[in-house]
């Protein structure tokens, strides 16, 4: 595993540093390496994790210690033991790493043969990366060069894949990791390289799906998580990019990216939503310039109307261009021609507006969403998809009304989306203490008193005594209709709550009339009469 995460050149370079720092002719240095070798052979190194240049590990010695190796500059490595210089724990951890790229015996033998160097050299130990000058594999300022490099690495990886059953896992963990390890050094170019590498792996996954025809289970359970993570990786890399002032050298790379990112539209028919999601993300965050949009519009208009299985993707991309240029009215007219089930495809746009807190523009989108929600909720989509859509839209509404103070809009949206908005509307009414409307909601959806938490009912009774009496009375009748002893007992429980409420309202005479009439109405139900008597609600 370590060999896949750390380059062999970096590990060997760190070994060269150690050879310069430790001399085999000095007894204390020989003892240090010997003790490190013993710890390594005893299997004392565990909990190992790596980045591209560092290794973190625990070493079991007399006491446990934490080691952090800097393979690029070994003298910066640290250990929690008392030693302030290179210790046996750092040597043991390095040998553990070295074993992933070569025989440990080879390193020790080579070290023993080293000639001593003077102290001056030790003060100027070179970084590991300087020991091996790799031949440049691509031009930093050329996207075409990057892509050619990606393809060469892909061909090399594909030839080495041992099992077709691990194809997608290997693509993500081996091929993708190799690309990221060879990113440019400058922070902003490195992050853009990560973006392009992530897009490349995303495209390769779709291409492999086209070739291998995996099962539905594999598509959803194994492949989808990789695509989802790649989208997240792109988002994270872009966020890191924006921490820096982007260099002018990035402009030609962005121009060439217009065509590169376009491949997401027609690389294959699988995972349409995810392909469009990544396409939209890249355009919103990286290519939101009129000159790029003009290039894309020209191409999309040229392919419109052609007999292609990707017409939906092309139409959505054209809509996205309108969104990027804030042509919302034109966009709304175009969307009218789409299926009602396409509504969630607009959510990326809504989210972008929301993140920018452009409340005036969001107002128009909310009007559009509310107007088109009924057709979506009346479609044949599964309940959970409609529920998820309602939840998202109400989250947007909540942020909008909190910013603008238009709280009636939120309640209107909740009403319109019932029953899919029940949870949000229920909480809203309870928080606003609109108990009468809350009772109407429960009755509308057919909920019984037994469906509610006792705490909620007590809070309502405490704040507004008597408001639940109609609901209790209805529940009593429903329990009695079922004509079982258990239902009669439940009816008695509700009746006791009613009696308590009437007493708080000082309307005992109303209660007396109600219970007398109820007992008379059901006098032939002997079991009910027995339960009423046991509950001391009536007397023989």
Report residue 43 as tokens: 């299997």
Return the H-helix or E-strand segment holding 419.
none
pLDDT tens, 389-433? 999 999 999 999 999 988 889 999 999 999 999 999 999 999 999
Predicted local distance difference test score (pLDDT) of residue 110: 82
Give 428's contacts (C-beta < 8 A, 6+ positions apart): 410, 411, 414
Give 441's contacts (C-beta < 8 A, 6+ positions apart): 422, 425, 426, 429
pLDDT tens, 369-393? 999 999 999 999 999 999 999 999 9
The span from the CA of 223 to the CA of 216, in Å, is: 10
Predicted local distance difference test score (pLDDT) of residue 114: 59
Report residue 96 as tokens: 């553990």
CA distances to 4, 26, 316, 346 from 373, rounded to whole Å, are 49, 80, 19, 12
More confident residue, 114 or 448: 448
Do 39 and 88 contact (CB within 8 A), yes or no?
Answer: yes
**Checking phi first, is residue 267 left (phi over 0); if not, alpha (psi -120 to 50) or beta?**
alpha
Residue appearing with tokens 């139900």: 525
Do 230 and 191 contact (CB within 8 A), yes or no?
Answer: no
Do 438 and 430 contact (CB within 8 A), yes or no?
Answer: yes
Give 169's contacts (C-beta < 8 A, 6+ positions apart): 222
- Helices H, strands E: what count in the chain? 28, 4
Whether residue 133 is predicted with pLDDT greater than 60 in this model: the reply is: no
Report residue 348 as tokens: 């990326």
Rg (CA), the chain: 35
Q: What is residue 44's three-state secondary structure?
A: coil
CA dihedral 157→158→163→164, nearest 10 degrees, is 140
Report residue 110 as tokens: 């080579």
Banded pLDDT at 166 (limits 50, 70, 90): confident
What is the Cα 194 distance to its own chain's centre?
18
Give 275's contacts (C-beta < 8 A, 6+ positions apart): 206, 264, 265, 267, 313
What is the Cα 335 distance to its own chain's centre?
28
The span from the CA of 448 to the CA of 232, in Å, is: 43
The span from the CA of 519 to the CA of 529, in Å, is: 7
CA distances to 425, 430, 434, 504 from 459, rounded to whole Å, are 18, 10, 13, 15
| Count of beta carbons in the 10 Å neighbourhood of residue 264 | 23
Question: What is the per-residue burial (b if ≥16 Cβ within 10 Å, else e) of 26-37?
Answer: eeebeebbebbb
Banded pLDDT at 120 (limits 50, 70, 90): very low
Banded pLDDT at 474 (limits 50, 70, 90): confident
φ, ψ of residue 228 to 5 degrees: the values are -60, -40
Determine if the pTM surpasses 0.75: no
Do 437 and 429 contact (CB within 8 A), yes or no?
Answer: yes
Average pLDDT of span 247-268: 91
| End-to-end Cα spacing for the chain | 83
Farthest-apart Cα atoms in the chain, separation: 112
Q: What is residue 77's three-state secondary structure?
A: coil
Which alpha helices (H) appear in 25-118, and where do they start and end?
Answer: 27-41, 88-98, 104-112
pLDDT tens, 222-239? 899 999 999 999 999 999
| Average pLDDT of the residues of the chain | 87
Banded pLDDT at 127 (limits 50, 70, 90): low
Q: Give the number of residues written for the chain.
A: 540
Whether residue 10 is predicted with pLDDT greater than 90 in this model: the reply is: no
DSSP 496-538: HHHHHHHHHTT-HHHHHHHHHHHHHHTTT-HHHHHHHHHTTSS
């Amino acid at each position: 595993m370590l060999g896949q995460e750390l380059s062999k050149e970096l590990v060997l370079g760190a070994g060269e540093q150690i050879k310069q720092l430790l001399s085999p002719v000095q007894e204390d240095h020989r003892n240090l390496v010997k003790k490190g070798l013993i710890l390594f052979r005893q299997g004392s190194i565990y909990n190992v994790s790596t980045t591209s240049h560092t290794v973190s590990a625990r070493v079991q010695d007399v006491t446990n210690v934490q080691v952090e190796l800097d393979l690029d500059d070994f003298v910066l490595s640290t250990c929690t033991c008392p030693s302030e210089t290179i210790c046996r724990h750092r040597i043991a951890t390095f040998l553990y790493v070295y074993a992933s790229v070569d025989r440990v015996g080879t390193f020790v033998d080579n070290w023993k043969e080293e000639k001593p160097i003077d102290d001056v050299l030790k003060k100027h130990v070179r970084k590991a990366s300087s020991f091996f000058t790799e031949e440049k594999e691509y031009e930093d300022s050329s996207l075409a060069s990057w892509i050619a490099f990606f393809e060469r690495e892909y061909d090399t990886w594909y030839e080495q894949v041992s099992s077709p059953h691990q194809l997608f896992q290997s693509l993500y963990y081996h091929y993708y990791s190799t690309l990221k390890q060879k990113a440019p050094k400058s922070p902003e170019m490195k992050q853009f390289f990560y973006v392009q590498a992530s897009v490349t792996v995303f495209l390769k996954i779709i291409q492999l799906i086209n070739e291998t025809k995996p099962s539905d289970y594999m598509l959803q359970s194994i492949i989808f998580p990789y695509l989802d993570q790649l989208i997240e990786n792109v988002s994270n890399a872009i966020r890191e990019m924006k921490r820096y002032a982007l260099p002018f050298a990035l402009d030609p790379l962005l121009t060439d990216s217009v065509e590169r990112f376009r491949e997401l539209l027609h690389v294959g028919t699988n995972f349409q939503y995810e392909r469009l999601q990544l396409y939209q993300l890249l355009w919103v965050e990286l290519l939101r310039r009129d000159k790029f949009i003009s290039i894309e519009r020209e191409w999309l208009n040229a392919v419109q109307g052609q007999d292609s299985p990707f017409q939906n993707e092309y139409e959505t991309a054209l809509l996205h261009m309108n969104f990027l240029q804030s042509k919302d009215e034109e966009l709304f007219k175009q969307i009218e021609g789409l299926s009602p089930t396409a509504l969630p495809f607009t959510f990326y746009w809504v989210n972008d507006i929301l993140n920018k807190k452009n409340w005036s523009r969001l107002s128009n989108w909310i009007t559009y969403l509310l107007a088109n929600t009924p057709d979506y909720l009346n479609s044949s989509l599964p309940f959970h998809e409609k529920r998820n859509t309602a939840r998202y839209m109400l989250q947007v509404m909540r942020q909008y009304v909190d910013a603008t103070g238009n709280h009636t809009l939120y309640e209107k949206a909740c009403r319109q989306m019932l029953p899919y908005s029940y949870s949000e509307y229920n909480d809203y009414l309870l928080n606003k203490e609109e108990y009468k409307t809350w009772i109407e909601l429960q009755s509308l959806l057919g909920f019984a008193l037994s469906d509610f938490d006792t705490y909620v009912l007590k809070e309502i009774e405490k704040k507004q005594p008597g408001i639940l009496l109609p609901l209790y009375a209805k529940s009593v009748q429903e329990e009695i209709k079922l004509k079982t002893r258990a239902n009669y007992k439940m009816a008695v429980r509700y009746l006791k709550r009613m009696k308590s409420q009437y007493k708080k309202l000082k309307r005992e005479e109303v209660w007396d009339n109600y219970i007398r009439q109820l007992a008379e109405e059901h006098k032939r139900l002997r079991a009910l009469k027995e339960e009423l008597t046991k509950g001391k609600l009536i007397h023989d």
